[in-house]
Amino acid sequence: MAKLKQLEEFREEIDHCVKCGACRAHCPVFGAEKQEGRVARGKIALSQAVLDGEIKLEEKVLEDLSQCLLCGSCCAQCPNKVPTEEIVAAARRRIAEERGLSSFGKGVAAILGRPKLMNLLAKAGGTFSSLLLQKLPENSGLRLRFPAPYLDADRTLPPITGKPFRERVPETIPGNSAAPTIAFFTGCGINYMYPAVGEALLRVMRFLGVNVIIPKDQACCGLPAVSAGAAGTVEQLAEQNLAALTRRPVDAIVTACASCNAGLGKVYAEMGEDMEPLSSQVKDVFVFLVEQGLPEKLAQLPRAEQRRRVTYHDPCHLRTRGITKEPRQILAALPQVEFVEMPEAGTCCGLGGTYSVYHYENSKKIGAKKAANIDASGAELVATDCPGCIMQLQDSINHAGGTQKPVHILELLLEALPEE
């Protein structure tokens, strides 16, 4: 049985933090609040004090530990590579064990752990979305018509599909016998909110002749449950995905969502050897496409006379795993795109899973900086590789009064391919 690490198991890593403060320059939450308890070294000190019995899990401690996006930006820049996001996640699990999950955390655990319930809620949301949500101008998202628990009325939401992506497509889509075979892990964002991204991925794989398996019994990667401290739910989902994704031999388990890539490839890898057959196979879609020579194939297509100016937002869960160049290689090769870098492309957009639910005002502050950088790029579109980031970027752009549109790179790829 795969198991998440307990806080006690991070004592050595906690001791490696020398409180140098290098994390202050890279923590999005500290940038928004300028409070020591919000920065990585502050959370490490709190976790150590909890371990040593010097403090109890009182409200101020809980508040500080909740103020983390789990983006990993601090660890990426830390001289000693202290995994603050893993330590904070373990501390949240400790809080859940001792005090129970929050009401929102209980909801997350209940829904994620029951895929049939998720499907039912998604279909209901798709059916009644016109009653519950109103369209914003220029197709830039939806807003709530009525107040809802945990959601601000001015938050932009994507429409929920009435028919999940995995119910639209067959489980097995054959390609060329000599081509690789992949398992496509759709994630919740593509399955329930952005099915067009999944359709675009399938079109690209057909273009390359790749054989695709889309296991019907795959579940959420569990990252929202990691954020909420719901250890049992994460472990349950990991076991379910292990069975679903390794049932048949494949050359890679491909993700088109940064958070899913981190969930399957990083969180699962830390849960013991049992998860190795899954975690070792996980590959971001653009890493896979570059390996298959797609940039060279795109370079052979005629360049469009009128090209759209596109910039790129690095999702934290790819950037901190070293996946930065492959998405850019694809964008730069697209014949209808003029690719430009934005300032600080690698800064967090402010979503952070459950963070943007608990701390929406801070989330908006962080998102406002990203919206300003998108505007400074002069781009018409901001492309990324994460459905969650697309949702957050649209919300931030709307609050800033911008006109740019966030898209998944796969959607731009679809535009570039010749008709079938």
Asked if residue 333 and residue 394 are part of one domain, the reply reads yes
Same domain assignment for residues 190 and 89: no
Mark whether 244 and 313 lie in a shared domain: no
Q: Does 302 reside within a domain? A: yes
- The H or E element containing residue 309 is strand 308-312
pLDDT, tens digit (0-9, with 9 covering 90-100), for 140-178: 787 777 666 667 878 888 888 889 999 999 999 999 999
End-to-end CA distance of the chain: 45
Residue written as tokens 């402010």?
350
CATH number at residue 52: 1.10.1060.10
Q: How far apart are CA 146 and CA 206, in angstroms?
A: 43
Looking at residue 109, its pLDDT comes to 87
pTM score, two decimals?
Answer: 0.94
Name the domain boundary from 57, 82, 99: 99
Nearest alpha-carbon partner for 350 in 63, 105, 28, 90 = 28
Pairing relation of β-strands 308-312 and 252-255? unpaired
Distance CA 125, CA 192 (A): 10
Q: Indicate whether 177 belongs to any domain.
A: yes
Question: For the residues 204-220, what does the mean pLDDT come to?
Answer: 97
| Domain shared by 303 and 265, yes or no | no
CB-based contact 228:92 (threshold 8 Å):
yes
**231 and 314 both lie in a single domain:** no
pLDDT above 80 for 27: yes
**What gap in Å lies between CA 74 and CA 349, rounded to an integer?**
15
If asked whether residues 301 and 285 sit together in one domain, one would say no
308 burial (CB, 10 Å; 0-12 / 13-18 / 19+) is middle
Per-residue pLDDT reduced to its tens digit, 111-138: 888 878 888 877 776 666 666 667 777 6
Please report whether residue 154 resides in a domain.
no
CB atoms within 10 A of CB 159: 16
Residue 202 backbone phi and psi in degrees, to 5: -65, -40
Query: In this structure, are 306 and 218 located in the same domain?
Result: no
What does the mean pLDDT of the chain come to? 91
Q: What is the pLDDT of residues 277-298, one digit of tens each?
A: 999 999 999 999 999 999 999 9
347-395 pLDDT per residue, tens:
999 998 788 888 999 999 999 999 999 999 999 999 999 999 999 999 9
Secondary structure element (H or E) that encloses residue 254, with its range? strand 252-255
Residue 125 domain flag: no
Q: Which of 290, 314, 348 is the last residue of a domain?
A: 290
413 confidence band (pLDDT: 50, 70, 90): very high
Q: What is the mean pLDDT of residues 13-28?
A: 92
With a pLDDT cut of 70, the percent of the chain lying above it is 95
pLDDT digits (tens, 9 = 90+) for 296-310: 999 999 999 899 999
Domain with 36, as residue range(s), is: 7-99
The answer on 340 and 317 residing in a single domain is yes
Q: Can you give the pLDDT at residue 132?
A: 63
- Number of domains within the chain: 3
Instruction: Please give the pLDDT value at position 127.
Output: 65
Alpha helices for 214-359 (secondary structure H) = 223-228, 231-245, 258-262, 276-279, 285-291, 294-299, 316-319, 325-333, 355-358
Residue 197 predicted with pLDDT over 90: yes
Is residue 142 one of the residues assigned to a domain? no
Confidence at residue 147, expressed as pLDDT on a 0 to 100 scale: 63
- Domain CATH for 260: 3.40.50
Distances (CA, A) of 356 to 18, 41, 72, 279, 370: 30, 22, 16, 27, 15
For 308-353, write each residue's pLDDT tens digit.
999 999 999 999 999 999 999 999 999 999 999 999 999 999 998 7
Same domain for 331 and 382, yes or no, is: yes
Domain end residue (candidates: 240, 275, 290): 290
Q: Judge whether 114 lies within some domain.
A: no
Q: What is the mean pLDDT of residues 262-273?
A: 96
Q: What is the pLDDT of residues 369-381, one digit of tens each?
A: 999 999 999 999 9
Residue 295 backbone phi and psi in degrees, to 5: -55, -40
